Structure 1
Amino acid sequence: MTKFLLAVHVLAAIVAVGPVTVAASMFPPAARRALESPDDPRATETVGLLHRICRVYGVVGVVVPVFGFATASNMGVLGDAWLIVSIALTALAALVLVALVLPRQSALVEGGGTLEATVRLAMFTGLFNLLWATVTILMIVRPGSTTGA
């Protein structure tokens, strides 16, 4: 059962979190292009599409920690430091996405943004991606784990 839960957890992370990190990274430059060329409908459509990807896959991404907790429980590692840090960083990444990235994307999609806003958004997006990269590394390395490498 552990292998099944772990497989679903990893697949969900790839399928759900991957698109959010890529679309969120693509959004600031696309928003800059849309702001610089307000008459270009394709630039505006691209920004809307990237925002929709972030929103939808952000919601789908809830599956990742659900299966992560089930896997960790099955493996008996819920109290391990690497997992606790990973959980905290995952929660922080979700908070950054919900509170800092998506609202700024929404403002830009709705036409209420500036070029300066895209710079701040890029910074928050970078933070979001850095948090996920750190969680991924912790999940692979599992410092102090006794469950094998």
Structure 2
Amino acid sequence: MAEVFLTLHVLAAVLAIGPIAVAGSLFPRYASRDHEEGREPSASGLLHRICRGYAFAGLAVPVFGLVTGILLGVLAQAWLIASIILTALAAALLALGILPAQRRLLAGRAAGEETGPAVSRLHMLTGFFNLVWAAVVVLMVVRPGA
């Protein structure tokens, strides 16, 4: 049974977190381009909807991960605890930083506000989000101390 939940955990991570990583990374570029060219934010709006929608699907990743950890009896191992903490950090970055910044940029574009510094900050946040997930993947594969 653990194999089934591990498979679901990995599939959920690839299919939910992957699109967020890609769409989140592309959003600042398209938000800047839309703003500079005076276009409606169609591409950046779509990328924001992808990030927002897949964020909810991404909730399956820690759920399946915790069930897998329970079934395998590894919840107390340091690599898994570190992965849980990093996953919580990534979720906080997405929910409290990236998605609100995307909303503000879309709203600022509609109001004609300057977006340069906000775009730079969003680039940094999405890059950090992706690095955190890369660290989680490394911990899941290498499992130091296991």
Task: Return the TM-score normalized by structure 1.
Answer: 0.93
Q: Tell me by how many angstroms 1:116 deviates.
A: 1.4
Q: Distance in 2 between matches of 1:51 and 1:16?
A: 14
Q: Which of residues 69, 74, 81 in structure 1 aligns to 2:71?
A: 74
Aligned to 1:139: 140
Q: Which of residues 50, 67, 74 in structure 2 aligns to 1:53?
A: 50
Q: Tell me by how many angstroms 1:74 deviates.
A: 0.4
The 3-state SS of whatever aligns with 2:118 is helix
Relative distance call for 1:135 and 1:106 in structure 2 (3 A) is: same
Q: Where do 4+ consecutive residues of structure 1 move more than 3 Å?
A: none
Q: Distance in 1 between matches of 2:100 and 2:114?
A: 11
Relative distance call for 1:35 and 1:7 in structure 2 (3 A) is: same
Q: Distance in 1 between matches of 2:114 and 2:34?
A: 10
1:48-84 per-residue CA deviation (whole Å, 9 max, x = no partner) reads 0000000000111000000000000000000000000
Aligned to 1:34: 34
Aligned to 1:14: 14
Q: Is the 8 A contact 1:107 1:113 kept in 2?
A: no
Q: Please, which runs of 5 or more residues in structure 1 have no aligned partner? A: none
Q: Distance in 1 between matches of 2:65 and 2:79?
A: 13
Query: Sequence identity, in percent?
Result: 51
Q: Is the 8 A contact 1:2 1:71 kept in 2?
A: yes
The 3-state SS of whatever aligns with 2:13 is helix
Matched positions, count: 142
1:91 and 2:88 are equivalent in the alignment: yes
Letter in 1 for 2:15: V
Aligned to 2:116: 115
Task: Return the TM-score normalized by structure 2.
Answer: 0.95
Q: Tell me by how many angstroms 1:21 deviates.
A: 0.5
1:96-140 per-residue CA deviation (whole Å, 9 max, x = no partner) reads 011110000001112255111100000011111110010011001
Q: Distance in 2 between matches of 1:16 and 1:66?
A: 13
